[in-house]
A and B are shown apart, each in its own frame.
Chain A
Amino acid sequence: MCCSHNITEKDIQPGRQDSSYLEKIKGMQFFDPHVHMTSRTTDDYQAMADAGVVALIEPAFWLGQPRTGVDTFRDYYSSLIGWERFRSSQFGIKHYCTIGLNSREANNEALAEQVMELLPLFIYKEGVVGVGEIGFDDQTAAEEKYYRLQLELAKEAGLPVQIHTPHRDKKRGTTRSMDIATEQGLDPYMVIVDHNNEETVKEVLDRGFWAAFTIYPFTKMGNERMAEIVKQYGTERIMVNSAADWGISDPLAVPKTAALMKAKGISDADIRMVTYQNAITAFGQSGQINEADFAAVKEIDQSRKFSGNTVLRGGQQPRIDKNSVIIQ
């Protein structure tokens, strides 16, 4: 594929080896404010770094099956601020996270009570940029209860909130999530409403909340639709994320969407707003994001790798040549 060919969504599906879209976004920096790296491989980290992702936020979420005890919640939260952060730093990507009890598991009330006691231990940690992802899944009474309690916690800690909106009955679920946040006395400017689509975006923006869009194949937004949304609504309080996780998803969704927007004539300044700056402005209200750290994690990381101070295995090289059949 060459410059004469206009890229389409098809060209940049996950798993496709063609990386010529990278040419379009050369030199651009991206911030993915929603990606579950715990579920991803080092190949993904490498590809994200190569595509210009300099920092990301990993929200605490559901692991695909229900947890049975509070200790596994603690270990999970602790891995988000520990091991995963370290893993990310090895690729020069600054890793932040949000901490919260996800909506599905709020339905196990006995467990949810214990998790609520655990949360204050984690939300004041360095690099925790919000309470999230919380909100509704099934829209049950238990979900509402723990959603409200966590909104209180965020308010008390002065942290932004990252809201997951439900797949089913999305429009009403989104409205209800915002109603409750307002009732609990949160400033809409401190709340990032996630997984928007064409049906929800107008109300979210009109009410002063941040609107995040997840580019996720098949079930959420496609990025051609995303480009249209930016054309229609502009860039204020809009951000793009991948929400890549253990499902078929794409950790390169943000840079790919940037490439597509560029191909569709959206300006570099506007692309930067929705794929980098707005996420920093919104989550930076936690006081935990310092853009200088993005460069620092790279420098420190490389000196670490090259001086061999903190690599995992003696003699391991920082890069593996994927095209070589010889493994040394």
Chain B
Amino acid sequence: MFSYPVKELSVIVSTIIKQHINDAAWNWLQEKVVQNLPVAQFNAVFAMIPRKTGKSPVELTDIQRTEVQRLYPGLSFEGWSVDRLSRVWLLMNRDSTAEDQYVAAIENLFLAADMNELVALYSALPLLDYPSRWKARCAEGIRSNIGDVLTAIMCDNPYPAACLDEPAWNQLVMKAFFTDKPVDRIYRLDQRANAELAKILSDYAHERWAAGRRMNPQLWRCVAKFIDEKNFADIQRIGSSSDLLEREAAALACNDSHYPPAKEWLSRHAELKTAIDNRTLSWSTIAAGRAVTG
């Protein structure tokens, strides 16, 4: 069944929505959500939501934010519009008793979705019932070339880390770097690092170097725990880069590594090591593009 306390979360979501739409829209939406609508009507309601709710950005109170995190770690509604949240709320409340019908009705929405609908649908993946049934759908979404759709899957979405197998996860991370997404918002990016991904990213770095193109220094955050005699030369290379952010990334990667030469490299760069030890330098400062040493 649901992997999280759906009723409790639904109450919070409904409170947030109510704060952002007018009474007429609220009454309409609430009435639609509580019914288990026949598929044709469910489709129409899903499509019509922005006409009723408008598209203002949602703002959560600190208490709401904490509650959402408590009920569903990794889930976030930051930067969402109210139509997106309303669509997700509709999906959360869809009666899931009959598994196949439930899955078919939602799959059908993907097939005829516009961009904003796709964003809402992929955002809803962590909140749907039968989590394992959406793996292929999630992997398919990662094949999209529409930026907002990719962001909805990759950023602040706890579904991929929880459900994707390693090849699909690696594809998500690789594509996030490839399309310049804010990778620090990939939930459990560090925890799901793996040797195969480290190899893929190292190859990617070599391609970028060959083409004379820049890359996101956070790439090395996924390589760090897998530094070995083969890829250590990459770390040495960015460690002597003219770009300070890259040198800082090299230091952070060495700090996360157990490979002795990496440890040794870090000990020879006292200023960087000190910055890491006193926490002025971290992957967050790299993500913010803010060099803190030198």
Contact = CB atoms under 8 A, between A and B. Distances in A.
A287 B151 CA distance: 29
Interface stretch (B2-10, B47-55, B99-107, B257-265): B47-55
B145 interface: yes
A85 interface: yes
A81 B179 contact: no
Nearest to B213: A315
B24 interface: no
B180 interface: yes
B214 interface: yes
- Residues of B contacting A: mostly: helix
Nearest to B83: A126
Interface in B109-131: 111-118
A126 B44 contact: no
B179 A311 contact: yes
Interface-central residue, A77, A125, A307, A311, by most chain B CB under 10 Å: A125
Interface in A73-96: 74, 77-78, 81-83, 85-86
Contacts of A309: 147, 151, 180-182
Interface string B47-66: 11011000000000000000
Interface residues on B, range: 20 to 34
B179 A313 contact: yes
Contacts of B116: 126
Contacts of A287: 51
Interface stretch (A26-34, A106-114, A116-124): A116-124
A3 interface: no
Contacts of B117: 125
A82 B179 contact: no
A124 B179 contact: no
Contacts of B214: 315
Contacts of A314: 177-180, 213, 215
A313 B43 contact: no
Interface in B122-161: 145-148, 150-151
A77 B112 contact: yes
A281 interface: no
A67 interface: no
Given A74-B112, A78-B113, A124 B48 contact: yes
Interface string B2-24: 00000000000000000000000
Contacts of A132: none
Contacts of A175: none
B40 interface: yes
Nearest to B147: A310
Contacts of A118: 112
B178 A85 contact: no
B41 to A, nearest CB: 10
Contacts of A307: 180
A78 B148 CA distance: 16
Interface of B: 40, 43-44, 47-48, 50-51, 111-118, 145-148, 150-151, 177-182, 213-215
6 contacts: A81-B113, A125-B47, A311-B179, A314-B179, A314-B180, A314-B215
- Ranked nearest first, the 6 interchain pairs of A and B with the lowest CB-CB distance are A310-B147, A308-B180, A81-B114, A124-B47, A86-B146, A314-B178
